Amino acid sequence: MLTLIVFIPLIAALALLFVAKDNRELIRAVSISAAGLSFLLSLGLLLTFDKSNPGMQFESAVAWVPLLNIQFHVGVDGISLLLLVLTTFLSAIAILYSLKQKKELRNFLALMLALEAGTLGVFVALDTILFYAFWELMLVPTYFLIGLWGEGRRIYATTKFVLFTLVGSLLMLVAIIGITVAHFKATGTLTFDIQTLVHTHIDPASQLWMFLCFFLAFAIKVPVFPFHSWLPHTYVACPIPTLIILTGAMSKTGAYGFLRFCLPLFPEAVAELGHIIATFAAIGIVYGAWIAVAQKDLKALVAYSSISHLGFITLGIFALNNIGVEGSVLQMVNHGIIAAALFLIVGILEERTGTRNLKDFRGLGKSMPILYGTFMLVTLAALGLPGLNGFVGEFLILMGVWTSPLLSNLAVIFVLMAGLAIVFASIYMLYMFQGSMQETNPNDPKDLKDIDRNEFALLLPACVLIVFIGLFPKPFLDRVSPSVSSILTVEKTVNVHIGEDEGHH
């Protein structure tokens, strides 16, 4: 089932290349069917998932490179399940929004489906080499989507993005080989299986360099301050449909990497460096929010706000306790939903008015009452209003930081910094909403149309989820909780230094 969910978009992407470019009906039908089917199958997994089981479920493994014992091994636990469903959900919305694309629709949709497949693969891979292959697969379609369909300084943006990500990827590959060799020396068996490798205890010196290699790869993708400088350029140049997957799902692959690799594999290194990482995350939270306040371009404003929200997620993960990590996983889902809805609204406003500059908007709410209502709901969720989904995740993260033994010395400072960022969030989100929707506009275009039925249908699921998760987060947390406990209490059974016992803990 998992293999199907990942490969349906990839097969559809390849199939599209054999469809005539001008056969727009067939191109649309194939794309919608593939994205829709993947989403429905992932919903099926969500409903049949056993929430009391902390281990991997729906596993399947096939020998891929038998000589090196590399397997096509996939499975999901509570953490990857939510991110898998989020990715298929956002991809379906992004594909539907892409149908209006004028230029090279076939190639655009084929690349979008390939991007979806790569992102899904990262969340289900249980073999380090398979994980790496999907990690790289995400990069190729993104490069072309921004380089060919982007705007402004798109070549600069996409080159910077690829260079940053490639450096991180190569470091990660070095660490993957390092940990496999360490396990081989201890046991005599060659394996790239993540579930086997997490039980390997590595000496602290080796842990440190391996952890840093993994951490940099993931920190660039999130991005964690100060590795964020690619993000504003990339987001502003990126076409809106691609941006929905990029911010909603792909940015979560880095945070997921922290949980799947950094925490269980390198506990000593995490304990040693956790407070430093948390400090950078807290700086990023304030920095992103502060810079967002100064933005006039709506796309740039949402991009900088993402740096702030992703800082929250990183901070919660390195609080290193159940409540903080659960809050982070929930906030990954919440941020994906809110950011995708905001970018959709920005895209709709730009289509209607031909601009994204806040100075050019005023009083659009009068002629666009339906958009006014949806925009207001998403704005309030983004600034963390209690009762909406943004609040739940942030509250759990702050509770986790406050009660974290690892961050105890600095917990008060981190919580105050996060609180300051929430104040800034209220400023830039209300500034964005009021600046565009309220006030009076002497140049108000009279023929401005409200959002149509199709656009409303794209925004409605996000609005429903914003309210549902805000009022009733329990079903999501129930699925995440056992897996989080399992990651935080991995038993080290293989000692790399044979004959020593201190590795068992």
d(CA 349, CA 301): 14
d(CA 103, CA 92): 20
The reported pLDDT for the residue numbered 337 is 94
d(CA 19, CA 7): 19
Q: How many CA atoms lie within 13 A of 337 on its CB side?
A: 31
What is the residue type of 372? Answer: Y
Q: How many CA atoms lie within 13 A of 52 on its CB side?
A: 0
The reported pLDDT for the residue numbered 503 is 38
Q: Are 111 and 176 in contact (CB under 8 A)?
A: no
Q: Are 462 and 388 in contact (CB under 8 A)?
A: no
d(CA 125, CA 113): 18
Pairing between β-strand 200-201 and β-strand 494-495 as defined by DSSP bridges: parallel
Residue labelled with tokens 């939270």: 285
Written as tens digits, the pLDDT of the chain (505 aa) is 889 999 999 999 999 999 888 888 899 899 999 999 999 999 999 999 988 888 888 888 898 888 888 999 999 998 999 999 999 999 999 999 988 877 888 899 999 999 999 999 999 999 999 999 999 999 999 999 998 898 888 899 888 988 888 999 999 999 999 999 988 888 888 889 888 888 888 888 888 999 999 999 999 998 888 888 888 888 888 899 999 999 889 999 999 999 999 998 888 898 889 889 999 999 999 998 888 888 888 888 888 888 899 999 999 999 888 999 999 999 999 999 999 999 999 888 888 877 888 777 777 777 788 888 999 999 999 888 899 998 999 999 999 999 988 888 888 898 898 888 888 888 888 888 887 777 766 666 667 787 888 888 999 999 999 999 999 999 999 999 999 988 888 777 766 554 343 333 3
d(CA 38, CA 2): 9
d(CA 297, CA 236): 9
Q: How far is CA 387 from CA 316, 381, 423, 469, in A?
A: 20, 9, 17, 9
Q: Are 425 and 305 in contact (CB under 8 A)?
A: yes
Supply 414's token pair. Answer: 């981190």
Q: Name residues whose C-beta falls within 8 Å of residue 163's C-beta, 6 or more positions apart in sequence.
A: none
Beta-bridge partners for 297 = 357
Enter the DSSP assignment of 365. G
d(CA 198, CA 180): 11
Give the 3-state secondary structure of residue 357: strand
Q: Are 481 and 78 in contact (CB under 8 A)?
A: yes
d(CA 85, CA 41): 9
CA gyration radius, the chain: 22
Supply 249's token pair. Answer: 């799902």
Q: Are 9 and 31 in contact (CB under 8 A)?
A: no
**Model pTM score:** 0.91
Phi (first) and psi of residue 61, to 5 degrees: -140, 135
d(CA 392, CA 250): 22
- Helix ranges (DSSP H) in 125-153: 128-149
d(CA 451, CA 439): 20
d(CA 270, CA 318): 8
What is the residue type of 217? Answer: A
d(CA 230, CA 219): 12
Supply 261's token pair. Answer: 């690799």
d(CA 248, CA 61): 28
- Helix ranges (DSSP H) in 17-153: 24-48, 78-98, 105-124, 128-149
